[in-house]
A = this chain, B = another copy of it.
Amino acid sequence: MRLALIPPTDPGDYQFVHTIRTRFSETDAMGIIHHAAYLPYLEEARVEFLRHAGHPYDEVRAGGTDFAVLEVFVQYRQPLRFDDVVDINLMVGKVRGTTFQIGYLLAVDGVAHATAVTVHGAVDATGKARRLPAWIAGPQFAGA
């Protein structure tokens, strides 16, 4: 397990926020958002953060690099419901060798509903591991 980031529950501790609205198709028969639906939320927030940091993911991919997901951890604290407006707060963790980690806080009206961490490595188009781009450790992506 490479997970080494403990995502805080205070939105003020995060460097970026992307807001989504849950879809009806993401609910389940318990009347809440199904737990598997959170992973695409995290991914959508990563994509928007990459764009914000000056490295849109389609450009990264066109350059021959994909960011494979190596690990994912989600802690579900309070259910999300249909039509909830969810702030996905995002922070970049420490780069370690060939991997980097991102922490997330999903909040509705400032209340923590879930926290999560994803661990990523760079791969080429065939899935083979490659070095992380240098900008991953730079200030626009990794923060101050």
Residues of A near any B CB (own CB < 8 A): 1, 3, 6, 23-32, 34-36, 39-40, 43-44, 47, 56-58, 61, 66, 68-76, 79, 82-83, 127
Name the prevailing secondary structure of the A interface residues.
mixed
Q: Other than A24-B28, A68-B79, A70-B75, give 5 A-B pairs with Cβ distance below 8 A.
A: A23-B44, A24-B44, A25-B34, A25-B43, A36-B36
* Max chain B C-beta neighbours (<10 A), residue from A24, A32, A40, A74: A24
Q: A25-B34, A28-B29, A58-B82 are in contact. Are A75 and B43 (CB under 8 A)?
A: no
Question: What copy number does this chain have within its complex?
Answer: 4
* Max chain B C-beta neighbours (<10 A), residue from A1, A36, A40, A76: A36
27 contacts between A and B (CB under 8 A): A1-B73, A1-B75, A23-B40, A23-B44, A23-B47, A24-B29, A24-B47, A25-B34, A25-B39, A25-B40, A25-B44, A26-B40, A28-B29, A29-B29, A29-B31, A29-B82, A30-B66, A31-B127, A36-B40, A39-B39, A56-B83, A57-B82, A58-B83, A69-B76, A71-B75, A72-B72, A72-B73
